[in-house]
Chains A and B, each alone.
Chain A
Amino acid sequence: MAQKAVEEAALPERGRRRKRLDNDLLLEALSSVNRIVKMIADAKQAASNLKDFAKNASKVADQLSLNIQQLAAASQQVSEGAQRLSQLAEQSAKSMNALSSLLNETAKASQTVNAAAQEALSRANQIVEAGSKARRSINVIRDGIDNVLKAVENMTTILERVGKLTGAITDVAGQTNMLALNAAIEAARAGEAGRGFAVVADAVKNLATQARETASEAESLINETKTAGATVLNLAQQSSKESIDGEKMIMDAIEGINQIRDVIQHVAKIMDELNSQVQQGMAAAREVVKAIDEVASVAQESASAAEEASAGVEEQSAAAEEMASISKEIMDATSLAESRLIEILAEAEKLQDILERLTQ
């Protein structure tokens, strides 16, 4: 108002009216300029604020980009680790397969040994059976020999009796001979009268001699038969003894084979145990292979997930970079706007100043 008064005072009458009109306009312009200045200042302030925001946004975007890079590196590491794990799993699987095939071969070998042991066992059984048959045969032979022994002993007894009979015949022949001799002596003493009797005595004597010779022959035959019987007896006894020895040998052999059978059975049992252990080992190996497969597949999944993550991160990274660059552009634009606004403000203030002076 003071300014208005000043202006009015400074103006001539004609001019005063005009001056007063101008002054109002100026005042109006001035207030408008004031509002503009104020608005520009506000805009400047807003631009400055926006610039700060954009700056912050850029910083955040940079940080985000950095984080994303770190994330990318981490996911790369995860991917690499997963790949290594996958490779290790593959190697382990190979090793396990090798072990498995080794176990398989061991199982086959143990089965082969077991089959061989069973074969040996059945052969041993056959031999034992054959040995038992041989033993029975030997027993039959020994019974036969015993029968021969009894028969020979029987025969010897009979021969003894026959021998006694021949002895009796010899005795009778001797006595008859004696009688014939005495008859011959009597006949001879009787001279011519005893001639006929002498012939009879001679005939009796001859018969006695024949009887004695026959008995003697029989005796020598009996003795020969006895000797033969003794030989047979001896041979039979020897055979009996040899059959006993043979039986003992067969029994020893059977005993030996039984011992071998025990050993084979032991081996077969051990092979069975080995086989069952190998089967368990194989089952365990299969489990391990399965576990390794799972690990491998998990690793594979991890790797692909990491790759996907990596890809996502890259996209994010690009977005973040884009965001950063947008923030920067915004900042730049804002800076430009601010500087223009500063310039505009300066001009506006100049204008304001002019107008203020005009209104005074």
Chain B
Amino acid sequence: MANDEIQVVLFSLNGVLYGADVHQVREVREVKEVTPVPYAPPYVEGVTNLRGEVIPVIDLKKRFNITEDKESKNKIMLVVHGEDKKVIGVLVDSVMEVMSISQSDIERTPDILSMSNSNYILGVAKRGEDLIILLDLRRIVSKKSMSLESQQFEDVMEGDMEAAKILKKAVET
């Protein structure tokens, strides 16, 4: 294996190709059952049992604010190595293959793309006519980034709770 090549797992969301470094992906699984978790953020699908290990499952499309094209029948899950040896399931539409991409075929992310959620996108690789968006999955599922967005969500939730409380009081009086 040449040094200027990286091995990526190729997968798709709504027909768009994405790539993730094989070192970030432990395995690919078909998810039979996901148990929803109360008060979880919208992109958290729930938890599932992976050979006795309970892991959280997130929907990458929801995480990326991509509108659902179709509800895929078979839920394909990338099992990703998160921080602190945590394992997180990431739902994608399909997983195609493991492929090598030469560094020369990778273009660095334009600044404008990485302005808001910096460093989630490592770059864009070309394969013939196709473009492959290379993702930093470990960063995407990191506690830090997740909690940042979760905090925003929880704020909204708390606001709703406050509103509900006020409404309840108003009804009682």
Contact = CB atoms under 8 A, between A and B. Distances in A.
Interface of A: 174-175, 178, 181-182, 184-185, 187-189, 191-192, 195, 198, 201, 205
B7 interface: yes
B74 A195 contact: no
Given A174-B74, A181-B95, A188 B27 contact: no
B163 interface: no
Given A182-B27, A185-B27, A191 B95 contact: no
26 contacts: A174-B30, A174-B74, A178-B30, A181-B9, A181-B28, A181-B95, A181-B97, A181-B98, A182-B27, A182-B28, A184-B98, A185-B9, A185-B22, A185-B25, A185-B26, A185-B28, A185-B98, A187-B98, A188-B7, A188-B22, A189-B7, A189-B22, A189-B23, A192-B1, A195-B1, A198-B98
Interface in B1-23: 1, 7, 9, 22-23
B113 to A, nearest CB: 27
Interface string B54-95: 000000000000000000001000000000000000000001
Contacts of A205: 97
Of A175, A181, A191, A192, the most chain B CB neighbours within 10 A belong to A181
B29 interface: yes
A205 B99 CA distance: 13
A245 B95 CA distance: 59
**Closest CB pairs A-B (n = 8):** A188-B7, A184-B98, A188-B22, A181-B28, A182-B27, A188-B98, A185-B22, A189-B22
B23 to A, nearest CB: 6
Provide the main secondary structure of the chain B interface. strand
Contacts of A185: 9, 22, 25-28, 98
Interface of B: 1, 7, 9, 22-23, 25-30, 74, 95, 97-98
Contacts of B7: 188-189
Contacts of A195: 1
Contacts of B26: 185
A301 B145 CA distance: 157
B8 to A, nearest CB: 9
A174 B76 CA distance: 11
A174 B94 CA distance: 11
B98 to A, nearest CB: 4
B21 to A, nearest CB: 9
Nearest to B11: A181
Nearest to B10: A181
Contacts of B28: 178, 181-182, 185
Contacts of A174: 30, 74
Nearest to B30: A178
B13 to A, nearest CB: 17
A300 B139 CA distance: 154
Contacts of B27: 182, 185
A201 B27 CA distance: 14
Of A174, A178, A195, the most chain B CB neighbours within 10 A belong to A178
Contacts of B98: 181, 184-185, 187-188, 198, 201
Of B9, B23, B98, the most chain A CB neighbours within 10 A belong to B98
Nearest to B7: A188
A121 B58 CA distance: 90
A178 B1 contact: no
B119 to A, nearest CB: 23
A187 B1 CA distance: 12
A133 B98 CA distance: 74
A86 B66 CA distance: 134
B48 to A, nearest CB: 16
Given A174-B30, A178-B30, A181-B98, A191 B1 contact: yes
Contacts of B25: 185
A178 B26 CA distance: 13
Nearest to B25: A185
Contact of A184 (B23, B74, B97): B97
B99 to A, nearest CB: 9
Nearest to A195: B1
Contacts of A188: 7, 22, 98
A34 to B, nearest CB: 196
A189 B26 CA distance: 9
A178 B96 CA distance: 10
